[in-house]
Each structure stands twice: as structure tokens, then as C-alpha cells.
Amino acid sequence: MLQLYFFPMACSLASRIALMEAGIEARYHLVNIWTKKVIEDGGDFCEISSKGAVPVLQLANGERLTESAAVLQYIADLKPEAGLAPPPGHLDRCRLQEWLSFTGSEIHKAFLFPTFWYKDDASKAAARERIGKSVSIAADHLANRDYLVGDRFTVADAHLAWALLLFRRAGVEVSNWPSLVEYLARIQTRPQVKAAIETEMALRKTMAV
Ligand SMILES: N[C@@H](CCC(=O)N[C@@H](CS)C(=O)NCC(=O)O)C(=O)O
């Protein structure tokens, strides 16, 4: 069985959404990403992955995969019939990778600066402006379409939707981009997305961090 190491409402939420959308049963291990402890047994998370970051997906053969872009595509390819990623070799598969990469580097990492790393207001404001530029690209793309790639929900949408859910913490309002407000609402009408968010929101409240 697949095993996902996660922290509630962290980027590993996208992997949970992918597993649930694909109907793949998995074991979920709650990790405290700040203390690097696996909650259930107090084990050292850095022994699971030297990166010390979620998501980590443990495969059926015991190998472990990290990086959301890789984990999400691996899950999607386990159940091609769920349509969570275009088939390899198709141009749309490269489009999917394009969005996974953009969300992971230009959006995800960008909002960490104003939220956690920068202490002074000027640096925070500059970081928010930068994230705004990246987000505007996604907002323009979604102005006339329902999903990032093709005409159906893919793992790229799970990834971007997760990032948008965390914007407020970084002091960035999604309401600045009406197309993203509609997009996020659309993604959250999906029963599996809703259930995944509810599960992690409930768990997040139990964490003291
Ligand atoms: N490039 C990685 C980033 C993973 C990442 O930054 N995960 C965060 C949670 S959203 C984390 O676990 N951070 C803990 C740390 O870096 O110490 C990915 O896209 O999966």
C-alpha cells in the first residue's frame, strides 16, 4: 500500500487530493515539519527523507518519492482512467509539468518569503508584489477556462488550489483576482477535494504549531 507523509494543509494536501480523486487507498503519516518528528512513533522524519519536507510518498516496493511534481504525476499515472494527468508523450503532459513547475517554484516558494522568512515590511511588500506577478499569470490563463490543462481537473489543479488556499497567511488576497476566486470555488465543489481539505483542516487544529 502507498504511504504518504504529510503535514496538514501543507503542499502534501495536493498529494492527498490526488490519491482520493484516483480512488487509491493509502496510509497517511502525520509529520511535524518543524520538529521533524513523525507523530505516531516519534521517529526522525529526516530518516524518512533527508529533505525533511513533505510530501514523501512511500511506494509499494518501499522506495520513497519526494517533490510534489513527481509525486503527483506518479499517483496520476497509477490510475490513468481517472484522467488526473494527460498521457506521457502528449503535449498536454508537458503543459501539466509546466504548471506543476510554475506553481512549485514561482508560487509556492514565493509565498514563504513574506510569511515566514522576511522580517521587515519592505521585503515582505516586495515579495508580495513578486507573488502577485506570478499569480496574475495563472489568473489570466484561467479567465476563460475551467482548469489549468485541457478541459478537466488534473493534479496541476490540486497543486494550484492548495497554494491559493494558503495565500491569506502570506498576506495576499485571492479576491484580487476574480478568475481565481471562481476557480478555487469550482475546484472545492469536487467531493474528494472538499473531503481532503476538511480532513486536513480538522487535523491542523490539533497541531500546536
Ligand atoms: N519542492 C518541494 C517543497 C516541499 C516543501 O517545501 N514542503 C514544505 C511544506 S509545504 C515542508 O515540508 N517544509 C519543511 C521544511 O522545508 O523544513 C515540493 O514541491 O514538494
CATH code of 74's domain: 3.40.30.10
Distance CA 209, CA 204 (A): 9
**CA 166, CA 58: separation in Å to the nearest integer?**
26
3-class secondary-structure state, position 2: strand
CA–CA dist 83, 86 (Å, integer): 7
Domain presence at residue 204: no
Residue closest via CA to ligand 1's atom 13 equals: 53
Cα 72 to ligand 1 centroid, rounded to whole Å: 14
Q: Which residue has the cell 472538499?
A: 194
- Give residue-wise pLDDT tens across range 86-110: 999 999 999 999 999 999 999 998 8
Same domain flag for 9 and 55: yes
Q: Does residue 162 have a pLDDT over 90?
A: yes
- Residue 18 in contact with residue 187, Cβ under 8 Å? no
The closest of 11, 208, 26, 194 to 100, measured between CA atoms, is: 11
d(CA 133, CA 45): 35
- Co-location of 20 and 44 in the same domain: yes
> What is the atom index within ligand 1 of the atom nearest the CA of 53?
12
- Residues 10, 72 within the same domain: yes
Residues 180-193 as b/e (b if ≥16 CB within 10 A, e otherwise) read beebbebbeebebb
Q: Which residues pair with 64 in a beta bridge?
A: 58
Q: Is 33 in the pocket of ligand 1 (CB under 6 A)?
A: yes
- CA-nearest residue for atom 12, ligand 1, is 53
Atom from ligand 1 closest to the CA of residue 33: 14
pLDDT tops 90 at residue 13:
yes
Helix axis angle, 155-165 relative to 191-206, nearest 10°?
40
Is 201 inside any structural domain?
no
Q: Is 53 in the pocket of ligand 1 (CB under 6 A)?
A: yes
| pLDDT for 27 beyond 70 | yes
**Mean pLDDT of the 20-41 span:** 97
Give a yes or no: residue 206 inside a domain.
no
Task: Please indicate, yes or no, if residue 205 is contained in any of the structural domains.
Answer: no
Phi, psi of 113 (to 5 degrees): -65, -55
- Model confidence, pTM: 0.96
- Tell me which residue range forms the domain holding 56: 2-83
Q: What is the distance between the alpha carbons of residues 182 and 99, in angstroms, rounded to a whole number?
A: 19
Residue from 32, 54, 113, 166 whose mutation best tests the ligand 1 pocket (most atoms within 8 A of CB): 54
Q: Does 134 fall in a domain? A: yes
Q: Is 52 in the pocket of ligand 1 (CB under 6 A)?
A: yes
